[in-house]
Amino acid sequence: MSILINEQQQSFHLTNGSISYQFSVEKDTFLIHNYWGKAIQDNEGISDYPRHDRSHSTNPFNVEAREYSLNDLPQEFPTNGYGDFRETALEHRYPDGSFITQLKYDGYEVYEGKKALEGLPHTYVNKEDEAETLEIYLIDMLYDVIYTLTYTIFQNYDVITRHVRVKNNGNQSVEINKVLSMSLDFDYSQFDLIQLPGSWGRERSIVRTPITQGLHRIDSKRGTVGHEYQPFFALTDPTTTEHHGDIYGFHLVYSGEFMANIELGEFGLLRAQLGINSEHFNWELSPGETFQTPEAVLTYSSKGLNGLSQIKHRFYQNHLIRGKHQYEERPVVLNNWEGTYFNFTEEKIDEMTDEAAKLGVELFVLDDGWFGERNTDTTSLGDWFVNRDKLPSSLKTLAENIKAKGLKFGLWFEPEMISKQSQLYKQHPDWLLKAKDRKESAGRDQYILDYSQPAVRKNIVKQLKNILDNVPIDYIKWDYNRNMTEIGSQSADIRDGEVSHRVVLGLYEILEELTSSYPNILWESCSGGGGRYDPGMLYYMPQTWTSDNTDAVSRLGIQTGTSLIFPVSSMASHVSDVPNHQLNRTTSLKIRGDVAMSGNLGYELDVTTISDEEKAIMKEQISFYKEHRSLIQYGNFYRIINFYEASCNEAAWLFVNDNQSEGLFYYFKVLDRTNPMLKRVKLVGLNPQALYRINQTDEVRYGDELMNKGIFVENKQYYDEISDQDLHGDFRSLRIKLTQVK
Ligand code: DGJ
C-alpha cells in the first residue's frame, strides 16, 4: 500500500493495489480530481479532463486562460463565490457579511495508520499498517483559517475515508454555514443513483434511477437520521448488476441531520457530496477553535451490488463495530412489546419467561412501560426508576428471578426524551429542547431532551448508572421515538444554530461513557424501528432494531435493503404474532422464522398463549438457529435474488462461511401462481471444486454445478427432515443447508 506523491506535479495517488484514487494541485491553488476506481499504474495523478473555453464560464482570480474554469473542472473541495456554480462543500459567513471563500493549497502530510476523530464515531485500524493517511492543507486567502482534508486508504478493503477539520488561527470569530465531509467530481456522467428511501415500517427499500442534469438531494432535517433516507447513496454504471460492474458507495458515519448531494452539471461532470446538513447549521468558530466534520466512508467495487455489500459488511464488522460483542454470537431474544405492550404484570413476565426458557430463548427483554408511571406513551420519559405498582418486587429481584431460569435480562430505555408528565420536567422544564422563546411541538406526546446542555447529559448518565449499577442487566434497547422540531436550546450559553449538531455530539459523549463503563452489556439501538440505523450508532452499539414492521413479507424488502450496507450481525429481527400487528397479514410461522433467522433471531409475542404445535416449530427454529448462527451472523452474505428486482414477489440469499465448507440458502416466495414455471436459481460464493450435501439427504452437488447450473427450488428431493418446505401456496420459504462432504 502506498500513497504516491509526485512533488513536481503536485499530484497524489492513493492505492492499495486494488483501487486507485488520484487528484492533483493545479495553478498552485486548486485540488482537481483525476480518478477513482480499479487500481491503475501511477500516471502521476494529473487530470486529463480536456479544457475548453465554455460560454458563460469564468476563469478564477489567478488564471488568465479563458479555458480554465472551475465550473468545468472536477474538483475535490469546491467553495463559494469564484466561478463554480454547482453545490459547494463549504460556506462561511464572515464578520463583514461576506460569504466568499477562496482557498489555496498549502502542503500535505502522510502518515501510517489512522487517527481517531475526537468526539465523533469513526472507523479505526487495529494495527498501524492496516491503513495510510494523507492530510491536505488548504488556507483561506483572506482569513487566518486552515482546512485539513483527511484521506485514509485501507490495505485490505477497497475503502477510502474522508473528513475535514477547520481551524481558526485568526483573532476574530468566523461562522461556518456549511462544511461537508467530502466532495468529489467524476469526470463522466453515465451513472445510476442507488438510494435507500423509506418510512416508518418500510425502511431502506432499494431504489435505482438514472441521473439526469440537476441537483438530487437525499437528506434529513429531523435532528436525527430518520426512517426516510439513509446517509448513503451509490453510483453505478448503468450496466451494473448484483454481481458485476462498477459501483461507488458513499456513507456518512453520523446519526444527525445529513445532506447528500448528487449533481450532474451542465458539462457532464457528476458531483458527489456528503456531510452535515447545512439547513439548521450555523457554527461560530472562535479564535483558536477547530471544527471537525463526521467521517465519510467511500467504497468501490467492480463486482456489483453484492461486491459493495461484502466490502461494507466486513469493513464495518472489523473496523467500525467495537467491544466485547463485536464477534460474539448474538443471543435468541424474547421481547415482551408486541406480546403485552404496556399491559404487563410481574406474574405475566414470570409466565412468559418460564415458557421462553423451555423454548430455548436465551435473553428476555422487558420493553417500554416498566418505569415512572408509564402505562401509556404519554408519560414518564425522563423518570428512570421502576414503577413499583407494576413490578412490586423491584427491578433487581425481577432480573434475578429471570436469570435464575437460565435467561439473560435486557431492559428498554429512551434516554433522549422527556414527557411533560414526569418528575424530570417538573424540576427542569428548561431541559426540553426548543429554540429560545418558541413554542414546542409534541411528537408521540413526548419531547426531546437538550443534550447540548452538560447538566442534562450528567443527569441522564447518573440515572442510568444508578440502575445499571444495581440491576444485573445484560442487554439494553436504546430507543428514540420522535423527530426534532424547533431545534434550539433554552440555555443562554448555547447558540440555536449549533444545537442540531451539539445534541448529536452530546449523545455520542453519553454513549461512549456508558458503553465503555458497562462493556459486558449488549447494546441495541432503536428508533421507532430502524429510524436511526446508521454507522454512527453502530460504532457504539453493535446491533440495531431493523424495523417495527415484523411482517415476514415486508421484512424481505427491509432486510434486503439493509443488507446492501450493513452486516448481518447488526440486524435484529423478530418473529411476531399473526395477524401481523403492523399489516394485518397472516403468514406461516415457518416463513416468519426463516426471515427472522436471517438476522439476529428473536421473538416478540405472547409465548404463553401459543399452541403446542407452534411451540414445537419455535423450538426447532431456535435450535437450528443456534447451530448455524455463527455462519449467519458472521459468514459471507450473498443476495441471490434481489427482492426489489424480482417485483417484490421473491427473494433468495445465501450465507457461506470463510472456508466455503458450509452454506445456508434461503428462498422466499410471496404470492404463488397456478401451474407455475419452475425456478432454477444459481448460487454464488461456493468452492467450485467442493462436493456439497444438500440438507440431510443423499443428494450431492459440486460447487461449480450449484453455481453455474443452479438448482430447482421446487425439487422435492431436497425436502428432508425439515417440515413444511413445500413451496406450493402463498408466503412460502425454503431453507437448504449445504455441507461439504469432499
Ligand atoms: C418503538 C420500538 O421500535 C418498539 O420496538 C418498542 O420498543 C416501542 N418503541 C416502545 O415504545
pLDDT of res. 95: 85
Distance from residue 602's CA to the centre of ligand 1 (Å): 15
d(CA 733, CA 741): 25
Among candidate residues 663, 668, 666, 733, the one with its CA nearest the CA of residue 703: 663
Atom of ligand 1 nearest to the CA of 548: 3
pLDDT of res. 518: 98
pLDDT of res. 54: 86
Class of residue 665 by CB neighbours under 10 A (exposed 0-12, middle 13-18, buried 19+):
buried
Mutate to test the pocket of ligand 1, among 202, 414, 479, 541 (most ligand atoms within 8 A of CB): 479
Our answer to whether residue 594 is catalytic in this structure is no
Query: What helix, strand, coil percent values describe the chain, rounded to 5?
Result: 20, 30, 50
* CA angle, residues 471, 475, 478, in degrees to nearest 5: 105
Pocket around ligand 1 at a 6 A CB cut-off: 337, 367-368, 412, 479, 481, 526, 528-529, 545, 548
Q: Going by CA atoms, what residue is nearest to atom 1 of ligand 1? A: 528
Q: How confident is the model at residue 722 (pLDDT cuts 50, 70, 90)?
A: low
Residue 247, pLDDT > 90, answer: yes
Those residues with Cβ within 8 angstroms of residue 602's Cβ, 6 or more apart along the chain or in another chain: 332, 333, 334, 335, 365, 572, 573, 574, 575, 596
Residue 726, pLDDT > 90, answer: no
Q: What is the dihedral sign for C-alpha 439, 443, 447, 450? A: negative
Q: What mean pLDDT do residues 248-264 have?
A: 98
How much of the chain, in percent, has pLDDT values that exceed 90?
Answer: 93
Cell of 528: 421507532
Distance from residue 532's CA to the centre of ligand 1 (Å): 13
pTM over 0.95: yes
Q: Tell me the C-alpha to C-alpha distance, in Å, between residue 583 and each of 469, 555, 644, 729.
A: 40, 12, 19, 20
Distance from residue 573's CA to the centre of ligand 1 (Å): 13
d(CA 195, CA 218): 8
d(CA 595, CA 601): 9
Distance from residue 479's CA to the centre of ligand 1 (Å): 7
Crossing angle for the helix pair 454-468 and 496-517, to the nearest 10 degrees: 20
For residues 95 and 520, the model is more confident at 520
pLDDT tens track for 576-599: 999 999 999 999 999 999 999 999
Distance from residue 412's CA to the centre of ligand 1 (Å): 9
Q: How confident is the model at residue 42 (pLDDT cuts 50, 70, 90)?
A: confident
The string over 505-540, giving b where at least 16 C-beta atoms fall within 10 Å of a residue's C-beta and e elsewhere, is bbbbebbeebbeebeebbbbbbbbbbbbbbbbbbbb
> For residues 23 and 45, is the Cβ–Cβ distance under 8 A?
yes
| Mean model confidence pLDDT for the chain | 96
**Catalytic pick among 367, 368, 534, 548:** 548
**Catalytic pick among 246, 383, 479, 577:** 479
Residue 44, pLDDT > 90, answer: no
Crossing angle for the helix pair 346-359 and 394-404, to the nearest 10 degrees: 20
pLDDT tens track for 538-578: 999 999 999 999 999 999 999 999 999 999 999 999 999 99
Residue 89, pLDDT > 80, answer: yes
* CA angle, residues 315, 320, 326, in degrees to nearest 5: 95
> For residues 312 and 566, is the Cβ–Cβ distance under 8 A?
yes
pLDDT tens track for 694-718: 998 889 999 999 999 999 998 888 7
The string over 45-84, giving b where at least 16 C-beta atoms fall within 10 Å of a residue's C-beta and e elsewhere, is bbbebeeeeeeebbbbeebeeeebbbbbbbbbbbbbebbb
Our answer to whether residue 577 is catalytic in this structure is no
Question: Rg for the chain (alpha carbons), in Å?
Answer: 27
